[in-house]
Structure 1
Amino acid sequence: MLKQQIQDDMKTAMKAGDKVRLGVIRLILAAVKQREVDERIELDDAQVLVVLDKMLKQRRDSITQYAAARREDLADVERFEVTVIQHYLPTALTEAELTALLDAAIASTGATAMNDMGKVMAILRPQVQGRADMGAVSTLIKQRLAS
């Protein structure tokens, strides 16, 4: 399980004395644990990916804001956190793979207009979660359905 791998990596970082990496891994585990406590469930790999994806989006937003404020020191910290989080995510989809999945989802739902976007997202989300930026996927769907 992904959660077990993260816990094992925490132990490795502790033994290696890698305090910066350890801090990021602890943030990840805290976010996972928080969701488990809130929902009173044990998260599976797909749900852990959702948590990681959300954390990644938060870090990217922070990087943008720090860069705009010319706080590169803080942006660099966030960039490091992004690299650690991405280590646990599956390999990112290429543009061709994403386009193929999008085409298949649109074809299987018979989507023709913007009001069908929810159907397409419902099919795509499990396939691309953690492998593509959901905001970019949403934009692609909107472009396809608008034309």
Structure 2
Amino acid sequence: MSTLKERLSADMKTAMRAGDKPRLAVIRMLQAAIKQREIDERIELDDTAALSIVEKQVKQRRDAAAQYRDGGREELAAQEDFEAGVLAEYLPQPLDEAALAALIDQAIAETGAAAMGDMGKVMAWLKPQVAGRADMGALSGKVRAKLQ
């Protein structure tokens, strides 16, 4: 069993004992998403795959919160923000700008990228390096700027 799933299980028990129902609901929702993927693909997920689910869930919550704010529904946006905050606790520390720039430079050097046509190679090299630690959309923009 992966360490992330063990941590989720332990945190669920802690939330149950503390009577923290909102946090417990978020942890159960995340466990259900992980379990659903394991059942769909008939595999046991490792930490990397489980982290991708956490990233996706955080992104969904942030997008929903933005949409609720645009619609003037602050109470629903606050709930989505709370859920995103709980989920973000399971992500590794994000990379700072300097570390991200260094990784981009290293990726470009190691893949021999010289033009925009090589962006796929660079992103494929970067993805496992920054999993859960950087926003892939922002990262692709930075790579695009370096390759132009």
| TM category, shorter | over 0.9
Structure 1 segment 76-95 matched on structure 2, within 5 A: 76-95=78-97
Identity %: 59
CA deviation profile, 1:88-125 (whole Å, cap 9, x unmatched): 11001101111111110011101112221111111111
**Aligned residue for 1:68?**
70
Structure 1 residue 70, shift from structure 2 partner: 1.3
The 5-angstrom pairing of residues 84-123 of structure 1 reads 84-123=86-125
The answer for the alignment partner of 1:7 in structure 2 is: 9
Aligned equivalent of 1:56? 58
> In structure 2, how many angstroms separate the alpha carbons of the residues matched to 1:142 and 1:64?
26
Q: Which letter does structure 2 place at the counterpart of 1:115? A: G
Shift of 1:143: 1.4
Give structure 2 stretches of 5+ with no counterpart: none
Question: Over aligned residues, Cα RMSD in angstroms?
Answer: 0.8
Q: Distance in 2 between matches of 1:31 and 1:138?
A: 27
Distance in 1 of aligned mates of 2:105 and 2:83: 33
Aligned length: 146
Equivalent position of 2:18 in the other structure: 16
Q: Deviations over 1:2-55 (max 9, x none)?
A: 111011101111111100000000111011001101111001111111111111
**Amino acid paired to 1:34:** Q
Matching residue of 1:27:
29
Unaligned runs of 5+ residues in structure 1 are none
Q: Distance in 2 between matches of 1:144 and 1:136?
A: 13
Paired with 1:89 and 1:34, the residues of 2 have a C-alpha distance of: 20
Provide the rounded CA distance (Å) in 1 between the counterparts of 2:141 and 2:41.
30
In structure 2, what is the Cα distance between the partners aligned to 1:144 and 1:58? 29
Counterpart AA for 1:16: A
Which 4+ residue blocks in structure 1 deviate beyond 3 angstroms?
Answer: none
Secondary structure in 1 aligned to 2:104?
helix
